[in-house]
Structure 1
Amino acid sequence: MRAVITGATSGIGREMAVYLSQLGYDLILTGRNETMLRKLQQTLPTRVETITLDLSEPRAPFQLYAFCKNKQVDLLVNNAGYGLFGSFDQIDLEDELNMLNVNIRALHILTKLFLRDFKQRNRGRILNVASSAGFLTGPLLSSYYASKNYVVRLTLAIHEELRRANSKVTVSLLCPGPVDTNFNNRAGVQFSMPPASPERVARYGIDGALKGKLILIPELRVRLGVFGSRFVPHKLLSAITYEIQKKKLK
């Protein structure tokens, strides 16, 4: 068994690597920090290969796929992603486009390329890491929320296509709320509620994906929030979200 994990150097991705290795999976790990990848590689009990890539770069997703092409991958985990905090007109455009390249473009490309192989074999699993933000509108994190909405809708659509095709390939969607990772430092914000453990979120996501479950929301309070948001008018929900986000400013 072999799994590919993007964004594997820290946080949820790192904990997924640890857990999958404990389950007996050989791993292909990618991230921007070669030193962190090597350190993680040396601590895991199964065979681990690493490839240092910045998925915001146009060729990087294709390079990762080429590296994995003939290695019989059973599970793809699209975990890489980050956010940028601020008013939409104030966020640097280049930074924003790089974020969208990671959160949307790279995930889209890797999902498509690996899905084609999995469907041909009629076997394989994909776990796309989104966020509870993927069900909401997010003033002050507008592009990040929009990117996770893309991940949610894309994954739900692919799931239905696979179901209609009676395929044994599965696709899952991990949608945590706040998690104690480096996300907030990179986005320049602080938590507005107690964060979940990345280890717990990682294990919840992997266990659900291996069972073929579609939507995976680890925290009960987050599940209730996502469910309740369906009944709130969009303008009111955006206003509430703005007030919550404003409290995150460092």
Structure 2
Amino acid sequence: MKALITGASSGIGRDIAYELAGRGCDLIVSARREERLLALKEKIPTNVRIIAADLSKQEECLRLYEETQEEDVDILVNNAGYGVFGAFNETDLSQEISMLDVNIFSVHILTKLFLKNFIRKNNGFILNVASSAGFMPGPLFASYYASKAYVLRLTQGIREELRKAGRNVYIGALCPGPVNTEFNATAGVQFGMNGLSSEYVAKYAVKKMFCGKTVIVPGAVMKAAHFFSKLLPDSIVAKMAYAVQKGKQGK
């Protein structure tokens, strides 16, 4: 099998690359930082192709797709993404738009294009990296939470379309809580609780993907939090989320 992984230069994307390679998959890895991808390639025992791309640009998403059409891609992992922290009226608009381009539009574009390929051959896997943030409103992280809700709901909607059509194509959403990655530094925050290791999240995600799980929530704490959040009104969840976000330290 062959997998294309975006945002593969660090964190969950990097560790999903290790996990899939450990299962014998050849890889196409993509990120902005080519030097990180070169370092990753040296540590992977299977065949690895590097495509540096900035997925905040639509033309780069389309180029990534076009450059892989000679490859028989079986797995797409949409992992690229980041967050912008702060009150909505204070955060930088251009930074937020770039974030939305990566978190939403790159996922939308690549999912649509590769899904068509997978439907044609009636086989394939798409794993979209969302977040537990997608389950709730996120004051002080409003646009990030909203972007992950889009990824989650898009994935669930497509999954039902595939099921009703009897397609042998998988799509699922990985929804972790805090994970120990570079996300903190990029967003300018510190988590108020200990995060899971990206290695654990990657291993769990790949296992559940191959088992056909649609919404993948690693860790007992986040599973419990997700369950109880469904029992509470959104207004209460928003107040709780605000208290959690307020406890994070900005740069």
TM-score interval, smaller chain: over 0.9
| Structure 2 unmatched runs, 5+ | none
Give the structure 1 partner of residue 92 of structure 2. 92
Give the structure 2 partner of residue 61 of structure 1. 61
CA distance in 1: counterparts of 2:21 and 2:160, whole angstroms: 30
- Residue 245 in 1 paired to residue 242 in 2? no
1:200 shift after superposition: 0.3
1:4 shift after superposition: 0.3
CA distance in 2: counterparts of 1:53 and 1:152, whole angstroms: 24
Give the structure 2 partner of residue 102 of structure 1. 102
RMSD, matched Cα? 0.7
Give the structure 2 partner of residue 175 of structure 1. 175
CA distance in 1: counterparts of 2:237 and 2:206, whole angstroms: 31
* SS of alignment partner, residue 59 of structure 1: helix
1:58 shift after superposition: 2.1
Give deviations 1:40-99, integer Å, cap 9, x for gaps.
111110000001111001211101101111211010000011001000011110000000
Give the structure 2 partner of residue 114 of structure 1. 114
1:111 shift after superposition: 0.2
* SS of alignment partner, residue 87 of structure 1: coil
CA distance in 2: counterparts of 1:70 and 1:227, whole angstroms: 43
Give the structure 1 partner of residue 159 of structure 2. 159
* SS of alignment partner, residue 76 of structure 2: strand
1:170 shift after superposition: 0.7
CA distance in 2: counterparts of 1:16 and 1:150, whole angstroms: 22
Give the structure 1 partner of residue 202 of structure 2. 202
1:227 shift after superposition: 1.2
- Residue 4 in 1 paired to residue 4 in 2? yes
User: Given residue 168 of structure 2, which amino acid in structure 1 is its aligned partner?
Assistant: K
CA distance in 1: counterparts of 2:210 and 2:62, whole angstroms: 25
The TM-score with structure 1 as length reference comes to 0.99
The TM-score with structure 2 as length reference comes to 0.98
Give the structure 1 partner of residue 221 of structure 2. 221
User: Given residue 98 of structure 2, which amino acid in structure 1 is its aligned partner?
Assistant: N
User: In percent, how many aligned pairs have the same letter?
Assistant: 49
Report runs of 4+ in structure 1 exceeding 4 Å deviation.
Answer: none
User: Given residue 174 of structure 1, which amino acid in structure 2 is its aligned partner?
Assistant: L
* SS of alignment partner, residue 119 of structure 2: helix
- Residue 22 in 1 paired to residue 22 in 2? yes
CA distance in 1: counterparts of 2:203 and 2:221, whole angstroms: 18
Give the structure 2 partner of residue 74 of structure 1. 74
User: Given residue 77 of structure 1, which amino acid in structure 2 is its aligned partner?
Assistant: V
CA distance in 2: counterparts of 1:56 and 1:239, whole angstroms: 31
Give deviations 1:77-125, integer Å, cap 9, x for gaps.
0001100100001111000000000000000000000000000100000
| Structure 1 unmatched runs, 5+ | none
Give deviations 1:145-170, integer Å, cap 9, x for gaps.
00000001000000000000011001
* SS of alignment partner, residue 5 of structure 1: strand
CA distance in 1: counterparts of 2:211 and 2:3, whole angstroms: 15
- Residue 185 in 1 paired to residue 185 in 2? yes
